[in-house]
Structure 1
Amino acid sequence: MRRFNLSIMDSYILGELILPFIFCVAMFSAVGVAIATLSDLSHRIIESNLPFISAIEVFILKIPEYVGYALPFSVLLTSLLTYSRLSKDSELIALQSCGISLYRLITPMIIFSMIITLVTFTFNELIIPQANYRATSILTGDEGNSRYAIKQDIFYPQYQEVTTPNGEVKRELRSIFYAQEFNGEEMQNITVIETDNNQLEKITVSETGHWDNEDNKWDFSNGAIYHIKMNLSQITSSFFGEKKVPLPKTPLELASKSRSPYEMNIRESLEYIRLLEEVGNEKNLLMYQVRTAQKVSFPFICVIFGLIGSTVGAKFNSNNKGTSFGLTILIVFGYYLTSFIIGSLGLINVLSPIMAAWIPNFICLGIGIYLLAKS
């Protein structure tokens, strides 16, 4: 197998990209975190008595989020600056006079942007969710997992599939689990309603309840069970001090795993989506599905921005940094506006979550390919 080696041209162009990229990442990150975080932290220090040390910690923890946003923008601005400089100094003309096509000239930029795509994806998965988790915990004064729990009105309907006599499979309600409060460890004022063949069968009430990991059952305390027969014509009751109840763990998972999608990685988001599918919460389900799909699609905009930036930059005969910065702002604004509009269509179920996340990328890719072909 032939070993791949970078040519002198590839090494030269890649070398020209590195320093401007580092500068752009630092600049975009600093501007983003300063505008979005400093004013809020100042307000919290004055109005909410947030300790200064905690404010510094939150400030540091918010930096990864804005670095994640800055990486694609930096690819775009770096490609514009580098290729417009090469064009201004006639280096691209010299290379093309040697028979090197524009397609080959932007190849180093595509390779570079692919590397940044992997960096962005890794950053968004391994660093940003945990940093956001920690920052939110400090701001809310809750250092534990209970900050993310649904603390009131936990509602979980359990369904089952049944086959009708004519062979049709339909979904029927099997039970309803309701807890009035959840303190992060146990639930209080629990009511469980169970049905059989669309008939009310049993009602269980309990003062408290917690999940037993060893037995995989709920431990209910100080409650009663009401057995109902013949359409409420016969009701029997029994009281208990402690009782193990074989119900799903899902209500606990649903309550304890509730977070913002920006505080979850893809694996955690998919687990929470599974819980929402069981509950049937359509609105939240669509929101998490769209946001999770966007977590996958967003890093790939680095490659597309690299294509657009290098193609447009190669047509410039000016090294005007103000022009390049203005073009970057215009392209980024157009991308985010398109992403917002199309993403909103996914949130209201007009488009599938995957299409809502990827269509903005496809539009930008089409523009980049058109500009390259035209050049």
Structure 2
Amino acid sequence: MTTDISASKKPPFRISGFSIPGLSLMDRYITTELIVPFVFGVVAFTSIGISTGVLLDLLRRVSDSGLPMSIAMQFFLLRLPYFVGLAFPMSMVLSCLLVYGRLSSDSELIALRSCGVSIYRLVAPAVVIGLIMSGVTFAFNEAVVPAANLRASQILDQALNKNKPSFKERNILYRESKTIRLPSGEKDELLSRLFYAREFDGQQMKGLTILDFSQTGLNQIVASDSAMWNAEEKTWDFFNGTIYVVAPNGSYRNIVRFDRQQIQLPRTPLDIAKTARDSEEMTISEIRQYIELIGQTGNQKEIRKMRLRAEQKSSMPFACLAFGLVAATLGIRPQRSGRAAGFGLTLIIVVSYYALMVAGQILYQAGIVNAFIGGWLPTLVALTTGVILVVKLNR
């Protein structure tokens, strides 16, 4: 006759004076064992990432470009959250492999199985912790990482480019359309205006060209050295430019030169220029807002890239859950391996995950899959693999 430990009377799990009713002794034991290697993994993987990804380049900038040590230290600290966020899933793999591998090699799992504990019940603590860490990672990557990355880029640009303008964006293109109704009753989108700016320095657009198609055919061309958005009058102030008025037959009907001219255009081009930055410096909601903005420019390449980045940022935190399930199942298998094998298997799993991420990106760029599949492919594959492994092991 066997006794199921999970079904026996469960003493409450107490943490700093608070108790969690219903948490069994087995759950408490496995959870406690997982914490230490997880924290160790976060510290280790963050140190490796920050050393190879930031520290060496930062030291080179200090020696070659004269970057002040105070700025270098600020940049270093602001880049830490990014690598901590990457370390969470990897630490989940390492902790589950080490803990479940040790329990298996010490025959503790055999003892638990002999008491009627199923494989599903054994991996449950890892799954729960993986789910919790997925939520923590998602919140951390949304609330902390983008703001820290943006601030790090700003202080580095200010320090290295303080004597020359730092253009935030180049080649800003905005296409304004109008909807017309065809004789058949169907609606069609026609080009109304095409707005192009060579660069944006944070305040002014420079090197502007506007093609106006608001009437039938090309009506006028506006070329200007610079332009600024006039917030009070909600219009654009153009400086040092020329307006070419085009006749219906395509010839120039009139040429008007101006020092300053107000032109009624939407402020969308300015919004695009101000919003444009690296996806690692934006939250998922900011990326989706940016996609809506650039959707008006017709820049399909940028739209597709940002759609994929939004899905990748959404799926990455759930790698904690997928890794916890896969690693716990692999650790449960009968083995006699040490920590070195655990580290090695961790690297294999992580490298495989990133290889699948690249594969998803390639498939998406080729038009074979949509943005959701392209972004979620590695996480979905890891979750599916974990489920298959645990079901197979429980037979």
TM-score scaled by structure 2?
Answer: 0.87
How much has 1:325 moved relative to structure 2?
A: 0.9
Aligned to 1:90: 107
**1:135-193 residue CA offsets vs partner (Å, 9 max, x unmatched):** 2223333699x85721x443222223333222343332110112344221122343322
Gaps of 5+ in 1: none
Aligned to 1:333: 351
How much has 1:246 moved relative to structure 2?
A: 2.1
Aligned to 1:132: 149
Aligned to 2:168: 149
User: 2-side partners of 1:373 and 1:188: how far apart?
Assistant: 62
Identity score, percent: 38
How much has 1:319 moved relative to structure 2?
A: 5.2
Gaps of 5+ in 2: 1-19
Report the CA distance shift for 1:216/1:335 in structure 2 as closer, same or farther (over 3 A). same
Q: How does 1:1-375 map to 2 (within 5 A)?
A: 5-141=22-158, 147=166, 149-150=168-169, 152-196=170-214, 198-232=216-250, 235-236=253-254, 242-318=260-336, 320-375=338-393
Which stretch has the larger CA shift, 53-62 or 223-232? 223-232
SS of the equivalent of 1:60 reads helix
User: 1-side partners of 2:146 and 2:335: how far apart?
Assistant: 42
How much has 1:346 moved relative to structure 2?
A: 1.5
Report the CA distance shift for 1:294/1:234 in structure 2 as closer, same or farther (over 3 A). closer
SS of the equivalent of 1:354 reads helix
User: 2-side partners of 1:338 and 1:233: how far apart?
Assistant: 56
CA contact (8 A) 2:244 2:252 kept: no
TM-score scaled by structure 1?
Answer: 0.91
User: 2-side partners of 1:316 and 1:58: how far apart?
Assistant: 46
CA contact (8 A) 1:290 1:347 kept: no
**1:19-76 residue CA offsets vs partner (Å, 9 max, x unmatched):** 1111111111111111222211122122222222222222222211111111001001
Opposite residue 307 of structure 1, the aligned amino acid is L
SS of the equivalent of 1:244 reads strand
SS of the equivalent of 1:173 reads strand
CA contact (8 A) 2:166 2:201 kept: no
SS of the equivalent of 2:138 reads helix
Which stretch has the larger CA shift, 243-252 or 221-230? 221-230
SS of the equivalent of 1:99 reads coil
Report the CA distance shift for 1:266/1:131 in structure 2 as closer, same or farther (over 3 A). same
Which stretch has the larger CA shift, 222-231 or 56-65? 222-231
User: 1-side partners of 2:232 and 2:175: how far apart?
Assistant: 24
How much has 1:222 moved relative to structure 2?
A: 4.6
How much has 1:239 moved relative to structure 2?
A: 5.5
Report the CA distance shift for 1:231/1:16 in structure 2 as closer, same or farther (over 3 A). same
Question: What root-mean-square deviation, in Å, do the aligned CA atoms of Structure 1 and Structure 2 show?
Answer: 2.3
Report the CA distance shift for 1:352/1:147 in structure 2 as closer, same or farther (over 3 A). farther
SS of the equivalent of 1:259 reads coil
